[in-house]
Amino acid sequence: MEIGKALGIIRLLGDGVDPISGEVYGSDSPYQNAEVVRGLFVAIAALERAEEKERRKRRLPERAGRPWDDEEDELLAKRFEDGVDIKELAIKHKRTRGAIESRLVKLVKI
């Protein structure tokens, strides 16, 4: 199940609504108990964080966070020395601009 769908279900439960029928639970329902509602809101916050993390991950370049190898370091250094700008290096290496800048600092190129 996708996080967004699970989040929708948990939000409805936290609001005291049956996610299947849309009916409001009665006052004797466990979903109207204060402790249960607090627990559901903690679950909602956790799912929201997980959903945001997933969104961020989808926006990152393909090789973001992966280790660098000697061959890629050499290619990065050569391209940089040839005048390729950092934005273009990030695209070619499928990494973030920050990763390119950090690697160039480590390679003593900037």
pTM of this prediction? 0.62
Instruction: Count the helices and strands in the chain (H runs, E runs).
Output: 5, 0
> How high is the pLDDT of residue 98?
97
3-state secondary structure of 21: coil
The predicted-structure confidence for 58-98, as pLDDT tens digits, reads as follows 999 999 999 999 999 999 999 999 999 999 999 999 999 99
> How high is the pLDDT of residue 47?
96
DSSP state of 30: G
> How high is the pLDDT of residue 77?
97
The pLDDT of 18-24, averaged and rounded, is 97
Q: Are 62 and 94 in contact (CB under 8 A)?
A: yes
Opening angle at CA 104, ends 98 and 107, nearest 5? 145
> How high is the pLDDT of residue 69?
97
